[in-house]
Amino acid sequence: MQNPFIVARQTDSDGVERIDLRDGGYLIWIPRFLSVDETGPLFRTLHATLSWEQSIIKIYGREMPIPRLNAWYGDAGRDYRYSGTRFRALPWTPELQSIRESVNQRLSLSFNSVLANLYRDGSDAMGWHSDNEPELGEMPAIASLSMGGGRRFLLRPRKESSAEHQMEFQLDDGSLLLMAGTVQTHWRHSVPRTRKPAAARINLTFRLII
């Protein structure tokens, strides 16, 4: 059954798919943005050198640690506030800077910051949310690059909970997913827990802080 929230889907000769959504949002799905030869060394370097921490966030007035590790990097002064926690931007590492340049060039965008997430195993996850903080502007573009173990990524309209309206991507090693237009206004997304064996995964979500 066709998802009524999808207006059009087009795939080019390289396997890159554009998905246009109702209300002005769109996705660009690149299953193989980086090769295995590229992701292996990058994963090991990022895993060993980024300043990983387990941040404390506030949800419904309660403080709790997020179920994953994270690190925030960006241009000077590009700090970010999420669920009551302020992330101060660390200077770009050579590897993150190189990846940013590749992502910016491929998507014709100008990201100035990145939130790195480390999912250590299947018990690490990300709950349903939208990236709609004021620092991101009215129609933020979020580019999600994955390295390491693959995980399910779900999207659903904010006002719908039915599974038939949900979209799912398998974010495997080297894949890149762009969410743009009004996606963060009308949709929510998550990375659910899994009981299946899951290798460690690094996810880089590039953003433009305005």
pLDDT tens digits, residue range 22-44?
Answer: 999 999 999 999 999 999 999 99
Please give the pLDDT value at position 63.
Answer: 80
pLDDT (0 to 100) of residue 1:
60
Between 123 and 163, the more confident residue is 123
Name the region of 137 (left: φ>0; alpha: ψ -120 to 50; beta: rest): left
Convert 6-72 into a string of H (helix), E (strand) and C (coil).
EEEEEECCCCCEEEEEHHHEEEEEECCCCCHHHHHHHHHHHHHHCCCECCEEEECCEEEECCCEEEE
The pLDDT, as a whole number, for residue 9 is: 96
Q: What are 46-96's pLDDT values in tens digits?
A: 999 999 999 877 766 778 888 999 999 999 999 887 766 778 899 999 999
- Give helix then strand counts, H and E, for the chain: 3, 16
Lowest mean pLDDT among 14-23, 77-86, 99-108, 122-131: 77-86
Distance from C-alpha of 121 to C-alpha of 125, rounded to nearest angstrom:
9
Which residue ranges form the domains of the chain, and what is each CATH number?
6-207 (2.60.120.590)
**Does the model's pTM come out above 0.85?**
yes
Q: What angle do CA 104, 29, 114 make, to 5 degrees?
A: 40
pLDDT of residue 78: 93
pLDDT at residue 83, rounded to an integer: 65
